[in-house]
Amino acid sequence: MSLENLKGLNNLNKASVEQATHRFMQCCTSNGWVNAMVAARPYADERSLNEHADAAWQALGEVDYLEAFEGHPQIGNVDTLRAKYANTKALASGEQSAVNEASEQVLQALAQGNADYLKKFGFIFIVCATGKSAAQMLALLEARLPNDKATELANAAEEQRKIFHLRLEKLL
């Protein structure tokens, strides 16, 4: 663990219940998960924080997962998608293979796919989108759309887990 992460962990451990609740809520909006994370402090190290985050998440049920999913903005309208993917070339310029800007066709298909997903499953499409282009997001959405609700709830819960781990890392 870096010195900076250790400092962040110490600050998290020493934070008031209200402050810690606010910080964990930025990582995941499930009250059950947040309460478990706050109550388990202090954490000895980053590993124990991550292990407890997983254990707390796995102990939750569908209602808690849905509450966490509601904390994400829905990728539902084309204007939002255009803004999100407007600068993908600039963002990817340092990578080995540049990501192409999202085409209008991909944006339209992604918006429609998200609407179809919400209608079918009753919750928004959740995916750990870090580093993914609009076309990659569309391919993932299309691959998951044929699933049944139980399978998709498990998939979305796993993606949410990946997201809160990234956010915990940033928190530290």
What would the pLDDT profile of 11-41 be if each residue is shown by its tens digit? 999 999 999 999 999 999 999 999 999 999 9
For the chain, domain boundaries? 3-62, 69-166
3-state secondary structure of 127: coil
Please tell me the predicted confidence (pLDDT) of residue 97: 29
Please tell me the predicted confidence (pLDDT) of residue 6: 63
Residues 6+ apart with CB under 8 A from 64: 30, 31, 32, 33
Q: What is d(CA 124, CA 18) in angstroms, rounded to the nearest whole number? A: 29
With beta carbons less than 8 A apart as the criterion, state whether 8 and 145 touch: no
Enzyme catalytic residues: 72
Residue ranges in the chain modelled with pLDDT below 70: 1-6, 75-101
69-166 maps to which CATH number?
1.10.3330.10
